[in-house]
Structure 1
Amino acid sequence: MMNTKATRMAATVLLTMTGGAAVAQDCPTGLPVVEEGKLVMSINATIPPKQYIDADGNIAGLHREMGDEIAKRLCLEPVYQNVDFAVQIPGLDADRWDMINTGLYFTDERAGFMQLVPYSVNALALISAAGNPLGVSEPKDLAGHAVGVEIAGFEEKKLNEINDAQVAEGLEPMDIRAFNTYGETFLALGGGQIDAVFAGDAIGSYYQEKGQFTKAATGLYPGTPGAFAFDEPDLAQAVADALNAMKADGTYDAMMEAYGTTKIDVWDRWPGEFTYFYTGD
């Protein structure tokens, strides 16, 4: 089931001409948040350029910028909890944060127990040591080799599915090694402990541009959206409304273009506006 509420909470811009122009915003009221006046978001700042720690020790990237903008439009203070991906869904369920802001992959299974607001379209990549010494061009080339992935995410599940299919075809199994974060995974690749990493296209581009690693195979399994996740339908809808306002005034498009991220419009299930997907009770 897809939520299609007709009533939308939109920020209202009020212009006054007395003593110059002043801009005010109507704030949504009564939003179910874990800490009054704040939007607490989990993030996994180990995946540049979308989420990482910058040279000054601050969380940076697309997810930070989107989180800040959404919070501003909801008249809430943005607060970030930088935690491993494996604890983000349990933490949402335990009311440790209001929103998962880590580019969580949309799946119908996840939409059965969380409200998901898709906002971008992803593709995956195989990232090798610089120069691609093994000549990897597809997952089959890594049969019998060590491949790293972040634990408990869509990528790990997908990699295991690929491996199972290849083994069924008679190929050697991959040695799949799951790490707590992608930061640890790429350290292992740099140290020669693994032969490749299975991760998002964007992080592969980031490291390739820095000359550290090479995207050996790119654009794999395109079309899977990244989504914000919630445990409160009213908050999920409020964030969707904020995204619709960002889309209308050009903020959303500008952010996506600045980070080379594919906009959600191309998703084959895009309903034409931001909304949440939820099939649970």
Structure 2
Amino acid sequence: MPTRFSLTLALGALLLATTAEAQDCKPAVADAELIQPGKLVMSTNPTLPPLQFVDASGELKGMRVELGKEIAKRLCLEPEYIRIEFSAMVPGLQSGRWDLINTGIFYTPERAAMMQMIPYENQAISISTANNSGIEVKSLDDLAGRSIGVEIGGFEEKQAKAIDAQLREKGLEGATVRTFDNFALAYQALRAGQVDAMVSIDGVAEEYAKRGQFHRALHGIGPTPVALAMKSRPLADAVAKVLADMKADGSFDKLFAEYGVEPVSGELVVKGPAG
């Protein structure tokens, strides 16, 4: 039978091992490249279930949240999330309010010209309608004369405006694009009948459809990769290495499969200004 002395020794050995492991974990990014030494500060807009959302207890959840925490862990940094609207994220990154945008920002060459981006996830656009609204959308042409809700400032807003332009080019009545501070407010407007349809990413529209809350009428529009975005090139290079390691050990694909999300194929590389 184990004695109290032997149990004390075993506990002491475990504590020493844990302390040694913590001491062995050296931050992979210099303090000068971070907003706060020892922390990875990330911005997120948690209104996109199942990718990023707040659960009933007020905790941040979702695939992208988990990915950010794992990146921080492997960099030996403490993860910290700042919840904020998407429209403030790029200015906040440039002014040094956070290290990394982790909200599924769509990759474009224009954005990559002003910040470091790592495309890692494939997404596209869906059109949703309210259940029992009587509005049938079988093609984009069916949005002629309709009002479309969308979050302000993102790729989705550009897609909604592009749909409006395409309708007008065909000689059809255009669509009225109404912007909201976030997707939660836009979906509330759709539920209340304040807009006829809603533009959001496939993963979110599919989740709401599974819950039976909204009808996903169209999907797969304008497929484009989404990215992690950073100001610091050394930080971006370190994050790219973490993602490569996760790909190699299988944890990256496992996380994406759990949420039914398609990862970008091939090597995950930094695209942005040199230096």
TM beyond 0.5: yes
Q: Answer whether contact 2:29 2:234 (CA < 8 A) is retained.
A: no
Q: Answer whether contact 1:131 1:213 (CA < 8 A) is retained.
A: no
1:101 has 2:102 as partner: yes
SS of the aligned residue for 1:246 comes to helix
Match of 2:66 in 1: 65
CA distance in structure 2 between the aligned counterparts of 1:230 and 1:273, rounded to whole angstroms: 18
Taking a change above 3 Å as real, the CA distance of residues 47 and 253 of structure 1, as seen in their structure-2 partners, is same
CA distance in structure 2 between the aligned counterparts of 1:20 and 1:152, rounded to whole angstroms: 48
Q: CA deviation at 1:27?
A: 3.9
Match of 2:272 in 1: 278
CA distance in structure 1 between the aligned counterparts of 2:92 and 2:40, rounded to whole angstroms: 14
CA distance in structure 2 between the aligned counterparts of 1:280 and 1:128, rounded to whole angstroms: 43
CA distance in structure 2 between the aligned counterparts of 1:278 and 1:183, rounded to whole angstroms: 31
Q: CA deviation at 1:34?
A: 0.3
1:151-190 residue pairs with structure 2 within 5 A? Answer: 151-190=152-191
Match of 1:148 in 2: 149
Q: CA deviation at 1:161?
A: 1.6
Match of 1:254 in 2: 254
Q: CA deviation at 1:99?
A: 0.2
Q: For each residue in 1:210-261, what CA deviation from the matched residue of structure 2 results, as whole angstroms up to 9, or x when unmatched?
A: 1110100111122x00100011100011101000011111110011001110
Match of 1:89 in 2: 90
Q: CA RMSD in A?
A: 1.9
Match of 2:245 in 1: 245
CA distance in structure 1 between the aligned counterparts of 2:237 and 2:84, rounded to whole angstroms: 25
Q: Answer whether contact 1:43 1:102 (CA < 8 A) is retained.
A: yes
Taking a change above 3 Å as real, the CA distance of residues 235 and 142 of structure 1, as seen in their structure-2 partners, is same
Q: CA deviation at 1:138?
A: 2.0
Q: CA deviation at 1:194?
A: 0.6
1:18-33 residue pairs with structure 2 within 5 A? Answer: 25=25, 27-31=27-31, 32-33=33-34
Taking a change above 3 Å as real, the CA distance of residues 74 and 167 of structure 1, as seen in their structure-2 partners, is same
Match of 2:8 in 1: none
Q: Answer whether contact 1:132 1:216 (CA < 8 A) is retained.
A: no
Runs of 4+ in 1 over 2 A off after TM superposition: 19-27
Q: CA deviation at 1:165?
A: 2.0
SS of the aligned residue for 1:109 comes to helix
Structure with higher helix content: 2
Q: For each residue in 1:118-139, what CA deviation from the matched residue of structure 2 results, as whole angstroms up to 9, or x when unmatched?
A: 1111111001111562110222
Taking a change above 3 Å as real, the CA distance of residues 217 and 132 of structure 1, as seen in their structure-2 partners, is farther
CA distance in structure 2 between the aligned counterparts of 1:50 and 1:39, rounded to whole angstroms: 19
Match of 2:125 in 1: 124
CA distance in structure 2 between the aligned counterparts of 1:188 and 1:110, rounded to whole angstroms: 29
CA distance in structure 2 between the aligned counterparts of 1:60 and 1:29, rounded to whole angstroms: 25
Considering only CA atoms, is the larger Rg found in Structure 1 or Structure 2?
2
Aligned length: 256
CA distance in structure 1 between the aligned counterparts of 2:68 and 2:94, rounded to whole angstroms: 20
CA distance in structure 1 between the aligned counterparts of 2:94 and 2:17, rounded to whole angstroms: 47
Gaps of 5+ in 1: 1-18, 266-271
Gaps of 5+ in 2: 1-15
TM-score (norm: length of structure 1)? 0.87
Taking a change above 3 Å as real, the CA distance of residues 26 and 34 of structure 1, as seen in their structure-2 partners, is closer
Q: Answer whether contact 2:148 2:195 (CA < 8 A) is retained.
A: yes
Match of 1:215 in 2: 216
CA distance in structure 1 between the aligned counterparts of 2:236 and 2:134, rounded to whole angstroms: 45
The letter of the residue matching 2:254 is A
Match of 1:230 in 2: 230
Q: For each residue in 1:195-218, what CA deviation from the matched residue of structure 2 results, as whole angstroms up to 9, or x when unmatched?
A: 110110111111111111010011
CA distance in structure 2 between the aligned counterparts of 1:207 and 1:83, rounded to whole angstroms: 22
Q: Answer whether contact 1:132 1:214 (CA < 8 A) is retained.
A: no
Q: Answer whether contact 1:149 1:182 (CA < 8 A) is retained.
A: yes
Q: Answer whether contact 1:256 1:262 (CA < 8 A) is retained.
A: yes
CA distance in structure 2 between the aligned counterparts of 1:29 and 1:152, rounded to whole angstroms: 31
Taking a change above 3 Å as real, the CA distance of residues 159 and 29 of structure 1, as seen in their structure-2 partners, is closer
CA distance in structure 2 between the aligned counterparts of 1:225 and 1:29, rounded to whole angstroms: 26
Percent sequence identity is 41
CA distance in structure 1 between the aligned counterparts of 2:67 and 2:48, rounded to whole angstroms: 15
Q: Answer whether contact 2:144 2:172 (CA < 8 A) is retained.
A: yes
